[in-house]
């Protein structure tokens, strides 16, 4: 894979999708439908998926593209592949809370090695550079105009005063019970893959997820966190979270800065 080309294409595709999502977000009303698993889907999900898929297919012909909104892709598998959630946090989008993202990642030999997470309503763009390091780009983000780019790095955590981030829409008692095992200074919540990015920037130290997720939900944020020096492990075995699993389902996991002393479940 040409990582320089990948960086350029993924960033451009995310910005294009984000612009279209925000056009629909600004409308007084937009259609909301239920998918077969009862999760919601909107015109923004579908429009963003169309844009991203076309960009990736044109730039990387022959590479497998797995995307949430194309069920036919969920039965395909390859050692390395592109994986997309065109609008992660659809519930946040519907509630107009702004905490939704565009997620695009490249998985290589079971690990997400490059990714982009774009939160268009927040004006925050996180991505891995060609060299594998992660950055945040802010400012007037648009095609043909670069924002301010700064490297990001995980925190040096104080295990006596941790900052924990948890899901805004999927918080449950099991998650709270696990978090209670730590000495927590502050708790914050966030939607979509922004939680990975808050750990990547050092705004949080720990993100446990004791709930169902799919690989397209996590791959891009996982890649950004790796590029910032962080880790993501399975909750059950503490082994690195892998990708390309049958059905693209994830087990429970923990994302964290390396200095955090992890507790068993």
Strand partners, 20: none
Indicate left, alpha or beta for 56 from its phi (over 0: left) and psi (-120 to 50: alpha): alpha
Q: Does 90 belong to an annotated binding site?
A: yes
Q: Does 69 belong to an annotated binding site?
A: no
Q: Does 79 belong to an annotated binding site?
A: no
Q: Does 45 belong to an annotated binding site?
A: no
Q: Does 237 belong to an annotated binding site?
A: no
Rounded distance between C-alpha atoms, residue 237 and residue 126, angstroms:
29
CB 125, CB 138: distance < 8 Å = yes
Rounded distance between C-alpha atoms, residue 67 and residue 76, angstroms:
11
Rounded distance between C-alpha atoms, residue 147 and residue 139, angstroms:
5
Q: Does 87 belong to an annotated binding site?
A: yes
Q: Does 85 belong to an annotated binding site?
A: yes
From the annotation, which residues make up the binding site for Mg(2+)?
68, 85, 87-88, 217
From the annotation, which residues make up the binding site for substrate?
68, 87-90, 217
From the annotation, which residues make up the binding site?
68, 85, 87-90, 217
């Amino acid at each position: 894979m040409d990582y320089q080309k990948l960086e350029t294409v993924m960033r451009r595709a995310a910005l294009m999708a984000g612009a279209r999502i925000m056009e629909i977000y600004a409308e007084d009303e937009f259609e909301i439908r239920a998918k077969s698993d009862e999760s919601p889907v909107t015109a923004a999900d579908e429009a963003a998926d169309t844009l991203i898929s076309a960009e990736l297919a044109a730039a990387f012909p022959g590479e497998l593209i797995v995307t949430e909104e194309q069920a036919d892709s969920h039965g395909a598998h390859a050692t390395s592949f592109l994986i997309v959630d065109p609008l992660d946090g659809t519930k946040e989008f519907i509630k107009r809370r702004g905490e939704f993202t565009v997620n695009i990642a490249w998985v290589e030999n079971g690990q997400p090695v490059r990714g982009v997470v774009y939160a268009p309503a927040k004006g925050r763009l996180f991505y891995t550079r060609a060299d594998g390091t992660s950055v945040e780009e802010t400012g007037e983000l648009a095609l043909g105009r670069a924002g301010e780019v700064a490297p990001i790095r995980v925190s040096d955590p104080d295990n006596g005063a941790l900052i924990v981030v948890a899901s805004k829409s999927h918080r449950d008692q099991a998650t709270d019970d696990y978090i209670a095992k730590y000495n927590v200074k502050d708790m914050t919540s966030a939607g979509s893959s922004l939680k990975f990015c808050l750990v990547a920037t050092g705004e949080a130290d720990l993100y446990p997820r004791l709930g169902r997720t799919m690989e397209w939900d996590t791959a891009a944020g996982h890649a950004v966190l790796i590029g910032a020096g962080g880790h993501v492990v399975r909750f059950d075995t503490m082994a690195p979270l892998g990708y390309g699993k049958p059905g693209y389902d994830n087990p429970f996991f923990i994302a964290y800065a390396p200095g955090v002393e992890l507790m068993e479940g």
